[in-house]
Chain A
C-alpha cells in the first residue's frame, strides 16, 4: 500500500498549516548529550560538537527582548553540558513569563549542578524531564543502562528542592516517549498511572506528564529502517491522522532556534533540515516573530504530531 504524503493528506482534508501568534521561543543549545537515546530525532550524543556559543546566545537574548515571548523553552541535547547555560537562564528569565529547561535528568545529576539548580529555583524555571517508563527495561532500552535509577535519584532531589510538590511554584513535568515503534499512551491515562506508580515505588511527585509519539527522523528513523519497522510505523501514524489536532499543534505558535542560531518551525523540522519559510534565516536577522499566517514547512514526520490526540 502506498502511503499518502503529509502534504497530500492535508490537501485531501482541505487543510493548510500556517502560523498563529508566535508566543513560544524554543532554544536548542546543542546536540551534545551524555546519552545516545535510541529514539532521538537529533542524534544527540557524547561525540557531538555542535554547541551554542556565547555570541549566538547574545543574539537570541536580543531577539527574545524584541519578541516578548510568553514562554521560552531551552532544550538540547543535554543543555546542562553547554557552557554558558547559567548565563542564558539568567538573561532570558526576566524576558518571559515562563522559562522552561528540558533535562534528561542524568545530565543534571552527572556533575555537581547545585549552582544551576539554585538558579532554576530562584528564577522559577520549570523543569521538563524525560522519563519514558517506570519499567527499568523499557527505560534502558531507550535511554541506556542505569538511566532509570539515576533519573529516579534526580527526581527525588528535585522533589526535596520543592520541584513538583503540591502547592509549590516550582513546576516539574515529565515527558514519556514510547520505547519502540508504537503510539504513545493517552496522556490523561498515563499521567494518572505514572503519578500512582512514582509515588508508590519511590515517593516521587510531579505536576504533569506529556506523552509524545517518536519522530521518524534521526537515530529513531535509522532504527525504524534497520529493524524493518519504518513503513509499518509511518502507516500507523498516517492511519491515526486526526485533522482536529491541527489547530493545536505547537508549530503554530512556537519558533525554534538551532545551536547555530537558525530558525525553524519546530525542533523536528530542525532534524529534517526544513528551515522556517524554507529559507535559511539567522536569529540576528529577525526583527520580530514570524507573522500570523506564515506557512509552516511540512514533511512526512509531521504525521507523528497529528496522530491520535496529537503533539501540542
Chain B
C-alpha cells in the first residue's frame, strides 16, 4: 500500500508510462522533446512557461522538474516567481471574468 499519493522518486520513472502503450508513449515523448527544443522561443523561456503551467495545473512532478530546469537554463528565482504570478493572474482572472456570465444570467432572470 502506498504511504503517499506522490513520491519524488516516481518522477524519474516517467518513461515507464510507456509500458502498456509503447507506441503512444513514444509519440508523446517525441512530441514533448520537440516542444521543448529551442525554436522561436529559447529553451529558457519555454522552461519558464512550463513552470508557470505546472503551478496552474498543480503538478508536483512538473514543479520539481521545471524548477530544476529553469535554474539550469539560467533563470533565477525572481524570474521564476514572476512566471508563477503570471499563471496565478490568469487563473484568478479567469475565475473573475466568469463573473460576467453570472451577471448576465442574473440580469436575465431578475426583475
Which A positions have Cβ atoms within 8 angstroms of B?
Answer: 133, 135, 137-138, 178-180, 182-186, 189-190, 193
Contacts and interface: CB of A to CB of B under 8 A. Distances in A.
Contacts of A135: 76, 78-79
B42 interface: yes
Contacts of B78: 135, 137
A178 B70 CA distance: 12
Contacts of A180: 71
A239 to B, nearest CB: 9
6 contacts: A178-B72, A180-B71, A182-B68, A185-B72, A190-B74, A193-B44
B43 A178 contact: no
A219 B68 CA distance: 22
A274 to B, nearest CB: 28
Given A182-B68, A193-B44, A133 B73 contact: no
A184 B79 CA distance: 17
Interface string B59-79: 000000000100111101111
Given A137-B78, A138-B76, A178 B44 contact: no
Contact of A183 (B42, B44, B72): B72
A180 B72 CA distance: 10
Query: For the complex, would chain B's binding face be called helix, strand, loop or mixed by DSSP majority?
Result: helix
Contacts, number: 33
Contact of A193 (B38, B68, B74, B77): B74
Nearest to B77: A137
Nearest to B8: A232
Contacts of A186: 43, 73
Contacts of B72: 178, 182-185
Interface of B: 38, 42-44, 68, 71-74, 76-79
Given A189-B44, A193-B44, A182 B71 contact: yes
Contacts of A190: 74
A184 B77 CA distance: 15
A178 B72 CA distance: 8
A178 B73 CA distance: 10
A178 B71 CA distance: 8
Contacts of B43: 186, 189
B12 to A, nearest CB: 9
Nearest to A184: B72
B74 A185 contact: yes
Nearest to A180: B71
Contacts of B68: 182
Contacts of A184: 72
Contacts of B73: 185-186, 189
B92 to A, nearest CB: 26
Nearest to A235: B12
A135 B76 CA distance: 7
B46 to A, nearest CB: 12
B77 A189 contact: no
A282 B48 CA distance: 50
B30 to A, nearest CB: 21
Contacts of B76: 133, 135, 137-138, 179
Contacts of A189: 38, 42-44, 73-74
Contacts of A182: 68, 71-72
A185 B42 CA distance: 12
Contacts of A179: 76
A47 to B, nearest CB: 30
